[in-house]
Amino acid sequence: MEKLLFTPIEVLDHGFLRVVDYMGDDSAVVQAARVSYGRGTKKVSEDAGLIRYLMRHRHSTPFEMCEIKFHVKLPVFVARQWIRHRMASVNEYSARYSILDREFYLPAPEQIAAQSSSNRQGRSEALDPETGARVLDILRRDASQCYDDYETLLDPEGIGLARELARMNLTLNTYTQWYWKIDLHNLMHFLALRADPHAQYEIRVYAEKMIDVLKAWVPATAAAFEEYRLGAFLFSAGMLKVIRRRLAGETVTQENSGLTKREWAEMNAILEAQS
Amino acid sequence: MEKLLFTPIEVLDHGFLRVVDYMGDDSAVVQAARVSYGRGTKKVSEDAGLIRYLMRHRHSTPFEMCEIKFHVKLPVFVARQWIRHRMASVNEYSARYSILDREFYLPAPEQIAAQSSSNRQGRSEALDPETGARVLDILRRDASQCYDDYETLLDPEGIGLARELARMNLTLNTYTQWYWKIDLHNLMHFLALRADPHAQYEIRVYAEKMIDVLKAWVPATAAAFEEYRLGAFLFSAGMLKVIRRRLAGETVTQENSGLTKREWAEMNAILEAQS
Amino acid sequence: MEKLLFTPIEVLDHGFLRVVDYMGDDSAVVQAARVSYGRGTKKVSEDAGLIRYLMRHRHSTPFEMCEIKFHVKLPVFVARQWIRHRMASVNEYSARYSILDREFYLPAPEQIAAQSSSNRQGRSEALDPETGARVLDILRRDASQCYDDYETLLDPEGIGLARELARMNLTLNTYTQWYWKIDLHNLMHFLALRADPHAQYEIRVYAEKMIDVLKAWVPATAAAFEEYRLGAFLFSAGMLKVIRRRLAGETVTQENSGLTKREWAEMNAILEAQS
Amino acid sequence: MEKLLFTPIEVLDHGFLRVVDYMGDDSAVVQAARVSYGRGTKKVSEDAGLIRYLMRHRHSTPFEMCEIKFHVKLPVFVARQWIRHRMASVNEYSARYSILDREFYLPAPEQIAAQSSSNRQGRSEALDPETGARVLDILRRDASQCYDDYETLLDPEGIGLARELARMNLTLNTYTQWYWKIDLHNLMHFLALRADPHAQYEIRVYAEKMIDVLKAWVPATAAAFEEYRLGAFLFSAGMLKVIRRRLAGETVTQENSGLTKREWAEMNAILEAQS
């Protein structure tokens, strides 16, 4: 972890994240659990086992005892999703005080994808190279034009518009940056949602890099997180009934399962996955 | 208050806010205070007096017993400031799921102001009409161009880019909307910061409209809020010393005051204000 | 729900809870989801289906749009567990301001149980009636003695000790009361943890009564909560492997399962439950 | 600060607090402020000046970038006040899992004080030594009796009552302990309320010791905190009018001041204090 400290990890075309500071590690989680459970944990001789137990039973407070602070550079439209996680502290570069750099996100060709027809909030296959190139041209041209005019608006020798106003002319793929500080419990909650395949690619790549940081920082916690969160699946009451029937030898179909088509598909995707 | 319910209150050129629901009123604050202080409040016969007492002594929990929900339409760059207040619940129109309307904020001429030279985060006088018109032309042209291309990118018969990607081409003055729900204590904290003259005009106008709502909803609380927050001033330890010396008849100057020039100016602005 | 309003629901020997106010219902959840997903939800014609979808995919913010306020009377040692849920607003009867009543919790005979030997934080079978009676005698005698002395300490004609000091002589089964206000999302989080069979009986009974309130208040949400939370089970990555092997016809034992004995037992308890 | 680490600081008769870990210092506050204000802060050459500016203008987020974790031992009735501050992480010794020690708080003779007649939530002068001794006898006797019976109830060779039940027989002055982790902004909010002369003595002494820690940890922040919070006073709109009139040479009395008697007294206590 000390090696990771301060080192920028590249994300997207101009973004990065880097660990600026942290407090605590796996042993701080264990220490907090042991004060809670006092003499009661004498028998739990092994720390990793205790951490797995805490994760499995959703005893989340010991994980709050660790804290991490990142410096992140990210496009504004990603920042808008990210900030919805309220249990964190943020200091963002202010475009009221300062001038933003000429840097905007342009997707890599394989990420320029069509609207999904089945998932209203998702993307489908990549567009063909020619159409992709057209998309990039549009995004680049508009962002450049808007930034040029941002500079024109700001020019103290020219228009001299207030920074707090001029910024409204920028596009949502402009990069911003911030310090983001969060405790380990809330970080894992963020990661479980944002490293999920349904999360938008442009935030998911940040989450994935953070999971690498997690592994270096708190290896036992990261392993338990993968076992009981990332790799886990919540079976609803109705799904449990289906599992019980199938284990009892019955052939269950969607029609007689009591599940909706969507639930049936989601459950089977899990049961048929290669583990 | 019942009259206000659901009625849009116009803000900026295309924005609005409207009260969608609320819970509690001045009497809920009093009721909560009385359970806390139990028999102890028998003597405080008057509700408005109790509310003033709570506000003066920063007993904030009784104010948390009231809740209000707004529907707000606002430019994205305003939404970015607003969301920094974490103690609220938000459901925002999602540009991953849906297509944003062609609506963007263009400041009124008197708001097209120069960068302040004394205050790095503020604006100064309005620009001359000709320059102002030039600013508007730029803002309108870029936002229109970006929106036109947003539509081109989305067109299911044409490019068909995923909505979650196309939106990055929009400018920061595009309008969004959300439900925003908050308790009365946290609302007043928001209003104290955002109705402040140092807040950016484009968020301050929302705060000012909300203060009107506050007066209709919880008149006794709103009056106490004006007396002990909006109209109040925090004198630092050093400022208190100056006041004491002046009241004792001494002539105090900035040089012998122990205050910085800035503190001296801030204090005098308050002491010399017409009340 | 309107019928429930203000009506005390008895809990334990002297406790109660009653709904004092609320805001929103199932339709407020749906309304908030629809603003988020905008035109995207036109097809989701049925509200209950949308609520199930939100619950299954942990889209929690629409549930934050509803709010409820309870008046609760509860023993101090229960209040100490309860208050650990931070995402709520509380106004508690203050023993600095006022004098607590002579009311303390004494368990019903069937609740006077031995320490569990397998679960360090749980209780086992009820003690035999004779021992149970002895326990009650001790609890009653000590609480009474402490309360008598509390009165002696407070007596303004006698010692006249400050209330804020005298209260320290009371036992932890003394009843207190508070207003407790929480949004629907956080209420369900509270209920999932406190209605769990591992929760202490004395707080679980409050949670169970609140689930009855939930059913009257937001029936569609309550049904989804039972399906996807209360009746659901999170299978870890390792458990999913076992299920897949079993469904493929393999006989899996704890030894070759890769699960610990405890995990194995927890999983089988679910799979063998009568649904 | 490194010297303070892990060293118990004694508080009350059996309590303590000790710093177990921390993250950041004055320079982390400055670093966060500079990312927010970007190039805008080049001119603010001096860190202490920037910190004073942040504190004066209630720019609180940079202070959230520092974190501290305490191990605290404290009486249960103090813990009950303390836990009301929600913006912190807590792991408390659990009396469901473990057995509490025979340790309870007994006030020092000079703290055994009469109920205040003017302030319903406060204490007045110390009781005379004889009465004080009587109070101590009662407190000691009842706490001892309850603890003896707690042991009797728990005795695995005797009654063997579940720990989660037996604990209800303890008095509220029994000591508990916890890890308490909080960011610097929220710590100062806690300290401003709990180091206040109106706070109960038994929690104020913890706050005062923490202020010593603050001075060692973040000296520039601690100095600004004393200047702009602890030593500051909020003048209401009405009080400001009185000050202006007095500075203009007018003699103002309570009767013609527009202030209530209480406000008048509070304001004069500040204006007449020796600074």
Mean pLDDT of D156-180: 97
CA distance A79 to chain B (A): 9
Backbone angles phi, psi at B13, to 5 degrees: -85, -35
CB distance from D134 to chain C under 8 Å?
Answer: yes
Output the six-digit token pair for C225. 């909560």
Classify A4 as helix, strand or coil: coil
C246 is in an annotated binding site: no
Using the predicted structure, report yes or no on whether residue C190 has a pLDDT greater than 60: yes
Are C208 and C156 in the same domain? no
Q: How confident is the model at residue A126 (pLDDT cuts 50, 70, 90)?
A: very high
Tell me what the mean pLDDT of segment D21-38 comes to. Answer: 89
CATH number of the domain to which C181 belongs: 3.30.1360.170
**pLDDT tens for residues A128-184?**
999 999 999 999 999 999 999 999 999 999 999 999 999 999 999 999 999 999 999
In a domain, D98, yes or no: no
Would you state the pLDDT for residue D275?
A: 57
Nearest chain A CA: its distance from B109 CA (Å): 12
Q: How confident is the model at residue C2 (pLDDT cuts 50, 70, 90)?
A: confident
Nearest to D121 among C80, C96, C105 (CB): C96
C80 lies in the same domain as C182: yes
Domain count, chain D: 3
> Which residues of chain A lie closer than 8 angstroms to B143, CB-CB?
169
Q: Which residues numbered 51-80 in C keep a CB inside 8 Å of some CB on D?
A: 75-77, 79-80
Contact present, D51 and D59 (Cβ < 8 Å):
no
What is the arithmetic mean of pLDDT over D213-230? 97
Q: Tell me, what's the pLDDT at C125?
A: 92
Torsion angle of alpha carbons B53, B58, B60, B63, nearest 10°? 40
Residue D23 clears pLDDT 90, i.e. is over it: yes
Position D36 pLDDT exceeds 80: no
Q: Are D245 and D252 in contact (CB under 8 A)?
A: yes
Does the annotation flag A80 for ligand binding? no
Backbone angles phi, psi at D235, to 5 degrees: -90, 125
Q: Which distant-in-sequence residues (6+ apart) come within 8 Å of D120 by Cβ?
A: B37, B40, C97
d(CA B252, CA A110): 70
- Name the band, by pLDDT with cuts 50, 70 and 90, for residue A45: low
pLDDT higher than 90, residue C136: yes
Asked whether residue D194 is marked as a ligand-binding residue, the answer is yes
Contacting residues for D53 by C-beta, under 8 A, at least 6 apart: D44, D59
Tell me the average pLDDT across A244-265: 95
Considering the domain architecture, whether residues A163 and A38 belong to the same structural domain is answered as no
Main-chain dihedrals φ then ψ at residue A66, nearest 5 degrees: -105, 150
A38 has a pLDDT exceeding 80: no
Residue B142 included in any domain:
yes
Q: What pLDDT score was predicted for residue A119? A: 79
Residues of A taking part in catalysis: 194
Domain that holds residue C141: 109-169
User: Residue C37 and residue B98: Cβ atoms within 8 Å?
Assistant: yes
The structure tokens 């708080």 sit at: D105
Residues D192 and D222 in one domain: yes
On whether B167 is known to bind a ligand per the annotation, the reply is yes
Nearest partner of C171 among C265, C75, C253, C51, judged by Cα:
C75
Per-residue model confidence as pLDDT tens digits over D123-134: 999 999 999 999
Question: Quick one: tokens of D136?
Answer: 């101590």
As a whole number of Å, the end-to-end CA separation of chain A is 29
Q: In degrees, to the nearest 5, what angle opens at C-alpha C93 toward C-alphas C92 and C94?
A: 105
- Nearest by Cα to D156 from C127, C114, C119, C122: C114
A121 touching chain C per CB within 8 A: yes
Section D16-28 average pLDDT: 96
Q: Is B197 helix (H, G, I), strand (E, B) or coil?
A: coil
Tell me the C-alpha distance between D127 and D131, whole Å: 6
A167/B164 touch (CB, cutoff 8 Å), yes or no: no
Report yes or no: C122 and C114 within 8 Å, Cβ to Cβ.
Answer: no
**How many CB atoms neighbour CB C198 within 10 A?**
11
In a domain, B39, yes or no: yes
- Please state, rounded to an integer, the average pLDDT across all residues of chain C: 94
Catalytic residue annotation of D: 194
One domain for residues A117 and A245: no
Asked if C40 and B94 touch (Cβ cutoff 8 Å), the reply is yes
Q: How far apart are CA C15 and CA B185, in angstroms?
A: 29
Q: Are A143 and A77 in contact (CB under 8 A)?
A: no
Q: Which residues contact C95 (CB under 8 A, 6 or more apart)?
A: C163, C164, C167, C170, C176
pTM of the entire structure?
0.96
Residue C43 in this model has a pLDDT that exceeds 70: no
**The pLDDT value given to residue C38:** 61
Does one domain contain both D89 and D6? yes
B96: closest chain C residue by CA: C37
Q: Which band of pLDDT confidence, cut at 50, 70 and 90, is reported for residue C275?
A: low
- pLDDT surpassing 60 at residue A44: no
Residue A50: phi and psi, rounded to 5, are -65, -40
- Work out the burial of residue A46: count CB atoms within 10 Å of its CB; fewer than 13 is exposed, 13-18 middle, 19 or more buried: exposed
- Nearest CA to D235 out of A59, A18, B236 is that of B236
Q: Which two tokens stand for residue D240?
A: 């400001």
Token pair 């620009």 is found at B127
Q: How far is B122 from chain C (nearest CA, A)?
A: 33
The answer to whether D179 contacts chain C (CB < 8 Å) is no
- pLDDT, residue B36, reads 75
Between CA C40 and CA B143 the distance in angstroms is 24
pLDDT at D40: 47
Which amino acid, C29?
Answer: V
Q: Is C120 on the interface with A (CB under 8 A)?
A: yes
Q: Are residues D62 and D195 in the same domain?
A: yes
**Do A232 and C236 make contact, defined as CB atoms within 8 angstroms?**
yes
Cα–Cα distance list, B14 to B8, B103, B107, B177 (Å): 11, 7, 11, 11
- A191 and A162 within one domain: no
- Among D169, D191, D209, give the residue marking a domain's end: D169
Cα C129 to Cα B50, C13, C107, C113, D238: the distances in Å are 52, 19, 13, 10, 67
Phi, psi of C144 (to 5 degrees): -65, -45
Name the minimum distance, in Å, from the CA of D96 to any CA of chain A: 8
Rounded CA gap, C172 and C102, in Å?
A: 13
Beta-strand relationship, A175-183 and A89-92: antiparallel
**Does C226 contact chain A (CB < 8 Å)?**
yes
The sign of the CA dihedral D23, D26, D32, D35 is: negative
CB contact under 8 A, B77 and A134: no
Nearest by CB to A62, from D24, D91, D183: name it: D91
Contact call for A37 and D98, based on CB within 8 A: yes
| Residue at B124 is within a domain | yes
- Looking at residue C18, its pLDDT comes to 96
Q: Is there a binding annotation on residue C167?
A: yes
Q: CB contact, 8 Å: B84 with chain A?
A: yes
pLDDT-wise least confident of A43-52, B45-54, B75-84, D237-246? A43-52
Residues B190 and B121 in one domain: no
Considering only residues D151 and B97, tell me which one the structure prediction assigns the higher pLDDT: D151
Residue C16 covered by a domain? yes
Predicted pLDDT at B78: 98
Which of B12, B119, B169 should be substituted to probe chain A, the one whose Cβ sees the most A Cβ atoms within 10 Å?
B169
Confidence at C260, pLDDT banded by 50, 70, 90: very high
A249: closest chain C residue by CA: C247
Residues of chain B contacting A111 with CB distance shorter than 8 Å = 165
Average pLDDT over residues D256-263: 93
Q: What is the tens place of the pLDDT at every residue in C163-172?
A: 999 999 999 9
Q: What is the mean pLDDT of residues C150-179?
A: 97
Long-range contacts of B49-55 (CB under 8 A, 24+ apart): B49/D260, B51/B26, B51/B220, B51/B221, B51/B224, B52/B220, B52/B223, B52/B224, B52/B227, B52/B228, B53/D262, B54/B29, B54/B224, B55/B221, B55/B224, B55/B225, B55/B227, B55/B228, B55/B229
3-state secondary structure B75-94: EHHHHHHHCCCCCCEEEECC
In a domain, B191, yes or no: yes
Nearest CA-CA distance, residue B145 and chain D, Å: 30
Residue C244 in contact with residue C258, Cβ under 8 Å? Answer: no
**Pairwise CA distance, residues D187 & A89, whole Å:** 14
**Sites in chain B below the pLDDT cut of 70:** 38-45, 275
What DSSP designation does B53 have?
H
Instruction: Say how far apart CA B47 and CA B26 lie, in whole Å.
Output: 8
Say whether B217 counts as a known binding-site residue.
no
Q: Is the pLDDT of residue C40 over 80?
A: no
Q: Is the pLDDT of residue C41 over 70?
A: no
Beta bridge partners of D89: D181
The percent of residues in chain D predicted with pLDDT above 70, rounded, is 96
Which residue among the candidates C120, C194, C244, C262 is catalytic per the annotation? C194
- CA–CA separation, A207 and B264 (whole Å): 48
Alpha-carbon torsion, ordered C194, C197, C198, C204, to 10 deg: 40
Those residues with Cβ within 8 angstroms of residue B113's Cβ, 6 or more apart along the chain or in another chain: A161, A162, A165, B123, B124, B125, B126, B127
Check whether residue A183 and residue A62 sit in a common domain: yes
Residue C245 lies in a domain: yes
User: Are residues B97 and C62, on separate chains, in Cβ contact within 8 Å?
Assistant: no
- The DSSP element (H or E) to which D74 belongs, if any, is strand D67-75
Closest CA to C67 of B31, B179, A59: B179
Output the CA angle D132-D137-D142, nearest 5 degrees. 130
Is C104 part of a structural domain of the chain?
Answer: no
Same domain, B195 and B248: no
D26 shares its domain with D73: yes
Pure H helices in chain D: 26-37, 47-56, 76-82, 129-154, 163-166, 184-194, 201-217, 219-225, 237-247, 254-257, 261-271
